[in-house]
Chain A
């Protein structure tokens, strides 16, 4: 038990560059598996949270752009969504990494863009903006006509109507699909360290360490189920948080309508 405490002290923050520098090389214990893979989860959560929080705003802008009547706003939004939804994230990441690499050669400003903490976050941010933008666009189009008419009847227009009626309804309708997008976004973050972005000093994410163990022990039956365990836990947390927010978004609805709000995780990525 004390051995495991020592392992936790050594490796709990290994993925962030703290603690023991050398990774274990032989005689791997179950404790080392759990601690190192869990340590890598920091990166997945960091990538996911950064991309979600920043992507939310761009997604709304993109959705409004796509729904706009003005072609100067609509066309770029449509192209943006098409570009990022029509190509694999894996290739986008490779492309962005090599793009930043060649930009770094000419402009020193791009120095930190080739590191995962910034470069990958940018790609994930754009990627999730496109996917969520499409979700919110769909929600925007399914706002009941009556809601808008009621807003007009109350004399609401422009910003006020958007702020009070359109935006909350859009969020409410798009929320189940957006939950799903968040879950798949966290899954996508596992690709980062396999797609060009280097894991400096072997400070990688959960999958990076899981595949490290699998390569070293040639036994996939321990590290990957541990990774799966962590991800199922993470997924449950996301669903929990999103359900709370969703309940708040729906709090004005009558009880029996609210009961209908069920998570139906469909596939969107």
Chain B
């Protein structure tokens, strides 16, 4: 990157380091941090949506829907999340391909599962066998986002379900007294008020979500863990301009620092948000704020 980097063998000290850290592969490593942030940016709102739908299903008046909602919440929370990640990435992929297979190749008569193989017609492959590399990567990434949304949606659903029940009963009774229907009182009274009860739990889920992002590595995505292992491994002078010993420990130390900084930053932001949402609420935190101002 820098002009003095043309002959790495002559460099020493900081100059060597500055050249080493700006090689092409290192930019792939830095871009992988972007991938983590992108995953969070996409997974958090979708998990929140899944959580909202899950909570609505869990408190539905229709029994089968309620069972689905409650089952979703407790099964996902009762099983290690890694298992779900490994499961859903294959299962969702096969589900999509199976669906496309049914639509695109109705004349196909061979069974889809043949022994240890999963065979769909070529037109149903996702992405198509002829698709460029970036489409494969994007598809893999989107599957990961969907998986994160499903798993963390269950955690969020549990929190939101609890928050909906925490809204004071008197508020709902007032809504009923005004003649609101069940739907109206849900959207106009319960939903706006539940957020302050949900926020501590949702903050917690967000923290857990951050700390689950390195599991992208297990889903076969070239994320920061992948690059840290690649770049940190011993490099000999034959294959690299920048030979070094086993530095994987230092790369993972850098990842630890990144995550520590990120969780710390989130904590501060969430604390402020909590203070903002508590303003004027009939909770202990809101009461404390009112007293402090008076």
Which of B77, B83, B256 is within 8 Å of A92, CB to CB? Answer: B256
* Pairwise interchain contact A219-B86, C-beta atoms closer than 8 A: no
Is B82's CB under 8 angstroms from A86's CB?
no
Q: Which of A87-103 contact B (CB under 8 A)?
A: 87-92, 94-95, 98-99, 101-102
Q: Tell me the A208-247 residues at the B interface (CB within 8 Å).
A: 210-211, 214, 216-221, 224, 227-228, 231-232, 235
Q: Is chain A's interface secondary structure helix, strand, loop, or mixed overall?
A: helix
- A187–B212 Cα distance when bound, in Å, is 13
Q: Is the CB of A88 within 8 A of B83?
A: no
The reply to whether A218 and B208 form a contact with Cβ atoms under 8 Å apart is: no
B15 sits at the interface (CB 8 A): no
- Within the complex, what minimum Cβ distance (angstroms) separates B107 from chain A? 24
Please pick, from A95, A99, A216, A232, the residue contacting B79 in the complex, using a CB distance under 8 A. Answer: A232
Q: Are A88 and B78 in contact (CB under 8 A)?
A: no
Which of B4-12, B54-62, B133-141, B246-254 binds A? Answer: B246-254
Measured in the bound complex, the distance between the Cα atoms of B215 and A210 in whole Å is 17
Interchain CA distance A108-B158 in the complex, whole Å: 49
Partner of A88, one of B117, B232, B259: B259
Cβ of A200 within 8 Å of any chain B Cβ, yes or no, is: no
- Docked CA distance A232–B80 (Å): 10
Considering the complex, give the chain A residue whose CB is closest to the CB of B158. A267
Q: Does A187 lie within 8 Å of B255, measured CB to CB?
A: no
Tell me if A191 counts as interface (CB < 8 A to partner B): yes
- Size category of the binding interface on chain A: 35 or more
Could you mark each residue 70-89 of chain B with 1 if its beta carbon is under 8 Å from any beta carbon of chain A, else 0? 00000101111111101100
Most buried by A among B86, B158, B212, B215: B86
Q: Say yes or no for B46: interface residue by CB 8 A criterion.
A: no
User: Closest Cβ of chain B: how far from A131's Cβ, in Å?
Assistant: 12
| Known A88-B214, A91-B256; contact A265-B249, beta-carbon cutoff 8 A | no
Residue B181 at the A interface, CB < 8 A?
no
The answer to whether the Cβ of A83 comes within 8 Å of any Cβ in the partner chain is yes
CA distance A117 to B264 in the complex (A): 32
Does B79 contact A227, Cβ atoms closer than 8 Å?
yes
A-chain residues with CB within 8 Å of residue B84 when the two chains form the complex: 224
Main secondary structure of the interface of B (DSSP, over half): helix
Report how far A232 CA is from B54 CA in the complex, Å: 21
Residue-wise, chain A 62-101 has the 8 Å CB interface mask toward B (1 for contact) of 0000000000000000000011011111111011001101
Is residue B201 within 8 Å, beta carbon to beta carbon, of the partner chain?
A: yes
| B274 interface contact, C-beta 8 A | no
Q: Which of B56-114 contact A (CB under 8 A)?
A: 75, 77-84, 86-87, 90-91, 94, 113
Q: What distance in Å separates the Cβ of B273 from its nearest Cβ neighbour in chain A?
A: 18
A207 and B256 CA atoms in complex are apart in Å by: 25
A235 CA to B75 CA, complexed, in Å = 11
CB pair A218 B116 closer than 8 Å: yes
Which residues does chain A contribute within 8 Å of B278, judged by CB atoms? none
Which residues of A have CB within 8 Å of B201?
266-267
Residues of B within 8 A of A194 (CB): 82, 218
Q: Which residues of B contact A269 (CB under 8 A)?
A: 208, 211
> Other than the known A26-B116, A102-B246, what 14 A-B pairs have Cβ atoms closer than 8 Å?
A86-B260, A86-B263, A88-B210, A90-B211, A92-B256, A95-B249, A98-B246, A98-B248, A186-B80, A187-B81, A188-B80, A207-B82, A216-B116, A218-B90
In the complex, 20 of the A-B residue pairs with CB atoms within 8 angstroms, ordered by the A residue number, are A86-B259, A86-B264, A87-B259, A87-B263, A88-B212, A91-B255, A91-B259, A98-B246, A98-B248, A187-B79, A187-B80, A190-B83, A210-B86, A211-B86, A214-B87, A224-B84, A228-B78, A231-B83, A267-B201, A267-B205
B residues whose Cβ falls under 8 Å from a Cβ of A: 75, 77-84, 86-87, 90-91, 94, 113, 115-118, 155, 158-159, 201, 204-205, 208, 210-215, 217-218, 225, 228-229, 232, 246, 248-249, 252-253, 255-256, 259-260, 263-264
